[in-house]
A = this chain, B = another copy of it.
């Protein structure tokens, strides 16, 4: 991005927890289903990153294979693992969360096209869903809680200019049942197809949009 005329794919790291992920979806998905669903969301993110011209790789908390996408194993906490990676990365790096199944190549390209020292996309509820660092070793991350504010502060303290990228596709992380509404309305990838396969659909009650799951063999709601 920084060398006109020379194109180098930006590495994109996607942290991933293979085992027992997305526990806040336990009310509608059992553990096997959550693991499969999380992998398919990851797949949607990997495909979007690749189409945007990135070289995605997975940072996994335990041994995990994911087709031909490289997997780096690191069983430390998210911040420790990522900050170690950043400190060893003098070039560009995109950090993308794995639960962003609405992400599109266009949205990622808007993140990568920043002319600031950092581009961030906030997640709903104060989190940080994407960070692009043209020079990764100048930054450190601090996830959990209101991480978006923390990341703006870290950038400011390091004297780095920061661009907040305005994308609902990257803003929308899928953690809870009501987030599935967004995926069923806007998703186009494997994770949305899996939800439909499991019997999920949109409901409208008193003008409010929700989701329901019709289980095989169970009575259909009218």
- Given A146-B202, A166-B168, A207-B145, the answer on whether A185 and B122 have CB atoms closer than 8 Å is yes
Render A130-150 as a binary contact track against B, CB cut-off 8 A, 1 for contact.
000000000000001110110
Q: Does A169 contact B (CB under 8 A)?
A: yes
Smallest CB-CB separation from A165: which chain B residue? B168
Determine the residue in chain B with the shortest Cβ distance to A144: B207
Residue from the list B104, B124, B168, B207 in contact with A167, Cβ < 8 A: B168
Is there contact, CB below 8 Å, between B106 and A146?
no
A209 within 8 A of B: yes
Specify the main secondary structure of chain A where it touches its partner: mixed
A171 to B178, CA, bound (A): 15
Residue of B nearest to A103 (CB): B166
Q: Given contacts A126-B209, A181-B125, A185-B126, is CB(A204)–CB(B146) below 8 Å?
A: yes
Question: How many angstroms between the C-alpha atoms of A172 and B202 in the bound complex?
Answer: 20
For residue A208, CB closer than 8 A to chain B, the reply is yes
Report B-chain residues with C-beta under 8 Å of the C-beta of A171.
168, 171
Say if the beta carbon of A182 comes within 8 Å of chain B: yes
* Chain B residue contacts of A122, Cβ below 8 A: 168, 185-186
Interface residue A107 (Cβ < 8 Å from any Cβ of B): yes
Please tell me if the beta carbons of A166 and B125 are within 8 angstroms of each other in the complex: no
CA distance A181 to B172 in the complex (A): 15
Give the complex CA separation of A122 and B146 in angstroms.
Answer: 25
Closest B-chain residue to A185, C-beta based?
B126
Q: Is the CB of A146 within 8 A of B185?
A: yes
Contacts from A to B (Cβ < 8 Å)? 104, 106-107, 110, 121-122, 124-127, 144-146, 148-149, 166-169, 171-172, 178, 181-182, 185-186, 202, 204, 207-209
Q: What 9 pairs between A and B have smallest CB-CB spacing?
A: A168-B171, A126-B209, A168-B168, A145-B204, A166-B167, A125-B209, A166-B169, A146-B209, A144-B207
